[in-house]
Amino acid sequence: MRSYELFEPTFPSLCVEKRRVRVLFLRERKVFLLLLVVFLAAYMIPFGHPRVRTSGLEALVMLQEYAREHVLLCLIPALFIAGAIAVFISGASVMKYLGSAAKKWLSYSVASVSGSILAVCSCTVLPLFAGIYTRGAGIGPAATFLYSGPAINVLAIILTARVLGLKLGIGRAVGAILFSVIIGLLMHLIFHERDREQEEIVSGAAPEEERPHTLWQSVLYFASLIGILMFANWAHPSGGSGPLIFIYTLKWYLTGALALSLALMLIFWFQRSELKDWCLSTWTFARQMLPLLFVGVMIAGFLLGRPGHEAMIPSRWVVRLVGGNSLLTNLFASVAGAFMYFATLTEVPILQGLLGAGMGQGPALALLLAGPALSLPNMLVIRSVMGTRKTVVYIVLVVVMATISGLIFGHLVL
């Protein structure tokens, strides 16, 4: 036997061992860095200082409010819809209407209309965005959907016009509709090469099993899920009347009827294996998003607090920096709005207080265009779905366009 043959079988095992050691090292390094951050925070943060204590309490209270008001009725239905998209809608169907190769007028119309109909907050839209993006939607239509969901909220735009004035209401409506399409087109222009790679991956995947459901069964199934999400979160239109109030008085009856119809569909139309796949897909999205959302909400609460409550950053600083209509004030309003968390419709009373304290009209519009569509929890989850580079570009586009819009609007209304 030749001498080198004695060592030949050991090479694969050495490679495997090196890979195992490397994976173990990377995992342990993450644990070490986490322990280091916790130690430094415990050692250096002055928890005895009144403002730090108040900020810590605000973080916990804001997390509690988020859990009570948004998780059960907003986030969990949205996660189940995302899971349903991943299991029951084929990648080919998504690419047909939202893929980069689809006709632009069709894909962006579908994305903007779909997002605006849902009228959800910046966090609730995330599972739905992840669902269509991972099924093969182009980055452009997916970004349009991501922005339009929280920004083109018809009820919020009406409330803005009634409370903050007709000019701000019109400015918000026009700006949000244009933003959703322009941001999507710019994202497509910047990342269209990666869109092609993603389409190849989706189209090259193994063909999915045909589901024993007709088109009208699928339509009723998804309509029930979306209806539950919409009516369970139908907010009281303050000072409103007519059909909006009428729907609000019936919201729980409508939600209950839709839940009952959904239960009957699941019993008679779906196989056990399908329900298992649906729950598993929903749990995958929940495991990916919930920890990031909770951490983001706590950080936002620690830094900025809830409306009317002081936290680490004093509210008087914010008011002082958004007066007038300069480039700096509009930029600050856009950035501050992008990092704050706004539940649906809460941006209107917050802005009402800021305007009363001296905020300019331009910065007010900038915050309205950047704030509802972005938040710190929102950014953390977007990064986990489409990567750091795309997330940074999306955030920059929203902030820059909101700043420019606020600057132009401020000069027009003077």
Q: Tell me the C-alpha distance between 384 and 381, whole Å.
A: 5
What is the reported pLDDT for 206? 43
Closest CA to 381 of 304, 302, 291, 299: 291
pLDDT digit string (tens) for 366-389? 988 888 788 888 888 888 888 889
% the chain with pLDDT above 90: 11
The answer to whether 100 and 192 have CB atoms below 8 angstroms apart is: yes
What is the reported pLDDT for 7? 47
Domain regions of the chain by residue span: 54-212+271-413
What is the reported pLDDT for 95? 66
Per this entry, what is the length of the chain? 414
pLDDT digit string (tens) for 187-206? 988 887 665 655 555 555 44
The answer to whether 153 and 372 have CB atoms below 8 angstroms apart is: yes
Closest CA to 66 of 123, 127, 116: 123
Model confidence at 283: pLDDT above 70:
yes
Token reading at 204 = 């090259």
DSSP 363: H
φ, ψ dihedrals at 67, nearest 5°: -65, -40
CB count in 10 Å sphere of residue 65: 14
Question: What is the pLDDT confidence band of residue 397, given thresholds at 50, 70 and 90?
Answer: very high
Which of these ranges, 142-146, 226-230, 313-317, 391-395, has the smallest mean pLDDT?
Answer: 313-317
What is the reported pLDDT for 66? 78
